[in-house]
Structure 1
Amino acid sequence: MALEFFELVSSLDKNEDIHLARILVLLKAFQREDEPALVGITKLAKLDFLLRYPACFETAMIARKVSPKNLRVAEFEHATIEASMVRYRYGPWDHRYRKFLNLLAARGLITLAVDGRTVVIDLTNQGTMLAQKFSESHEFEDVTFRAGMLRKHLDLGATRLMEFIYEEFPELNNMQLNEEIELGALA
């Protein structure tokens, strides 16, 4: 049974469309009128880290004074992750973010702009409509809820968000660069 579960999680990690859909839902949650959804890939990575690790999402929300009973994190989610992330120079990171963003841009779902050294990410009208469809689907109910909670409680600048992650998950500081993050290391 455990091997079947591992194989399922592993196959999901290889399915890029799952990651692209989750990123669209996250961008939709942070979408603003007359402003880009997110400024900086580092901010995207930090927020996505919390979406992909439900136990870490719960820890972060409790640190922001949200009651655990309002978080809708199931017990089994304390021992699961959606996909691997590694300790990167700026914290949790998936080496495929640039690829994911380029795929979304090539499909006309997001726009990417560069402001100095910062990548500015926003949804196109087509991306907004698709993100809305995902957000309304049962399959993305938890992701949509959590993305909304992140917007409400952790809509911080990239630097402050990075500091928050390191404050709440000091274990990340002790990891080697490019070392895969294991849920047990953060529990």
Structure 2
Amino acid sequence: MKLAKLDFLLRYPHHLARILKDHGVQTENVESLTTDVAPLDSRMMRYRYGPWDPSYYAILGALIGRGLVEVSQLPGSRGLGYSTTSVGTELAIKLRQDESFEVIEQRVRVLRRYLDKSGSTLKGYLYTLPEITNSTWYEEIS
């Protein structure tokens, strides 16, 4: 759940800026986040617990298959956790140094600093957005 919520905020910086403002983050810290409104081509849709992208299964499978991500059981739950392997971490470091990912990297830093919360907490934040609460299942979110 957490991965999907963070991905949504990364893809939709205008919603990220709104949530940050609602939680007291100074406006000057978030204004630059919205320079590229939708950096990714695919749109997320509304599903059971908020925004979802059906391609997650294929993407995670590809990352796991390439040895970039590993899966582990979350302690005390039936949920799964995903973390980068050492190879995945090395690749991520290289990508962070590529200036074409600068806008994404800036957003990731903001997400980590201000919104490193549980999936349930992030879900609560997203459900304050009318674009999510007023949409129906399988409807694309803008």
Aligned counterparts of 2:102 and 2:39: Cα–Cα separation in 1 = 17
Equivalents in 2 of 1:133, 1:139: separation in Å? 12
Structure 2: any 5+ residue segments left out of the alignment? none
Counterpart selection for 1:90 from 49, 55, 68: 49
Specify which of 90, 104, 109 is matched with residue 129 of structure 1: 90
TM-score normalised by L of structure 1: 0.69
Q: Find runs of 4+ consecutive structure 1 residues off by over 4 angstroms.
A: none
1:64–1:153: 8 Å Cα contact kept in structure 2? no
Q: Which shows bigger deviation, 173-182 or 63-72?
A: 63-72
Provide the alpha-carbon RMSD of the alignment.
Answer: 1.6
SS in 1 for 2:127: helix
CA contact (8 A) 2:33 2:106 kept: no
SS of structure 1 residue aligned to 2:126: helix
Q: Do structure 1's residue 117 and structure 2's residue 75 form an aligned pair? A: no
Q: Specify which of 20, 25, 33 is matched with residue 73 of structure 1.
A: 33
Q: What corresponds to 2:124 in structure 1? A: 163
Q: 1:170, CA displacement in angstroms?
A: 2.8
Local SS of the residue matching 1:73: helix
8 A contact 1:89–1:177 mirrored in 2: yes
Identical columns (%):
37
Q: Is the 8 A contact 1:46 1:161 kept in 2?
A: yes
- Tell me the number of residue pairs that the alignment of Structure 1 and Structure 2 aligns: 138
Partner of 2:65: 106
* Deviation per residue, 1:151-174 (Å, 9 max, x gap): 11111111111011112x133112
CA-CA distance at 1:74 after TM superposition: 4.6
Secondary structure at 1:84 match in 2: coil
The secondary structure found in structure 1 opposite 2:80 is strand
Question: How does the TM-score come out when normalised to structure 2?
Answer: 0.89
1:62 matched to 2:21? The reply is yes
Q: Once the 2 structures are TM-superposed, how far is the Cα of residue 81 of structure 1 from its aligned partner? A: 5.4
* Residue pair 1:54, 1:81 contacting (<8 A) in 2 also: no
CA deviation after TM superposition for structure 1 residue 45, in Å:
0.5
